[in-house]
Amino acid sequence: MSDQFDPELFQTKLYLSPEKDQLFETGPWPKPFVFNEDVVRVFDDMISRSVPLYREVLACAAHWARDYYQPGTRIIDIGCSTGTFLELLGRFLKQPATLVGIDNSQPMLEKARQKLERIQQIHQVELICETAENCSFENSSVVVINYTLQFLPLQVRQKLLRSIYEGLNPGGLLFLSEKVKSACPQFQETINRHYEAFKAHNGYAKTEIERKKEALENVLVPLTEAQQISMLQESGFSHIDSPIKLHNFISLVALK
């Protein structure tokens, strides 16, 4: 049977903790926004209700990772949070692999460790509590960095992308998802409205949306899509494409 019709490929249900995100409803809420224990407790609900196409993006990343994985190399998820992507990928891969999750929040990795217990029986799983800038990406064929570069200081982003490029094996793939801003102020205003309507549709009240926006100011700093692509090009990546975009969130793939 060809892969295209393999029903396993469509088992993309994510392993998400059910605790509801009400952090910005009553307070005290984290301002400036940080990945503390309160956030970690409700993180799965928060991200899946706040990022457009979150489930589809993770499934898409798993498809790309499966296609570009070179046996004997590492697959690295930078900013792995509670391990949701690695858990999905672990079920997707056809052969045992080394799956590495990097995150600088210990409480996130504690959740990830629990979530990855089953996957660990098949794959070698390494969870590293470290800032991404200090990590090596040697002997990797796939690096995923979803919604994490956006939190790093601007001058660190280019350095990190270059270090990922250097670590990847030839033919290796970077899968990058980010919040972006429009180069056109009028479109930016329109897209923001669409994004806020999306959040409201997912059950967030106007005050929660406003408070979180304030908390994220100067913490999550988005670039434009063009700036993001040019950073990837400057880091050495040759082919760049965008498999997904909705509202102010984009996923890019880049090849070494």
Ligand X SMILES: Nc1ncnc2c1ncn2[C@@H]1O[C@H](C[S@+](CC[C@H]([NH3+])C(=O)[O-])CC(=O)[O-])[C@@H](O)[C@H]1O
Ligand Y SMILES: O=C(O)C(=O)Cc1ccccc1
- Give me the residues that bind ligand Y (CB under 6 A), please: 46-47, 50-51, 179, 212, 216, 220
Closest distance to ligand Y from the beta carbon of 187 (Å): 17
One-letter amino acid at 85 equals F
Cα-atom radius of gyration of the chain, to the nearest Å? 18
86 vs 202: CA distance, rounded Å: 25
Identify the residue among 45, 69, 76, 79 touching ligand X (CB under 6 A).
79
Q: Which of 236, 234, 216 is nearest to 226 (CA)?
A: 234
CB closer to ligand Y out of 51 and 78: 51
- Candidate segments 67-75, 87-95, 104-112, 242-250, binder of ligand X by CB under 6 A: 104-112
The verdict on 35 binding ligand X (CB under 6 A) reads: yes
Query: Which residues are documented as binding site?
Result: 54, 79-81, 103-104, 146
CB proximity list for 209: less than 8 A, separation 6 or greater: 24, 196, 199, 200
Helix-helix angle 54-68:84-92, to 10 degrees: 50
Map residues 203-232 to x or -, x wherever contact with ligand X holds by CB under 6 A.
------------------------------
Residue with the CB atom nearest ligand Y in the bound state: 50
Closest distance to ligand X from the beta carbon of 17 (Å): 12
Question: What helix, strand, coil percent values describe the chain, rounded to 5?
Answer: 45, 20, 30
Q: What is the DSSP letter of 209?
A: H
Closest distance to ligand X from the beta carbon of 243 (Å): 15
Q: Which residues pair with 144 in a beta bridge?
A: 77, 175
The verdict on 85 binding ligand X (CB under 6 A) reads: yes
The verdict on 132 binding ligand X (CB under 6 A) reads: yes
The verdict on 108 binding ligand X (CB under 6 A) reads: yes
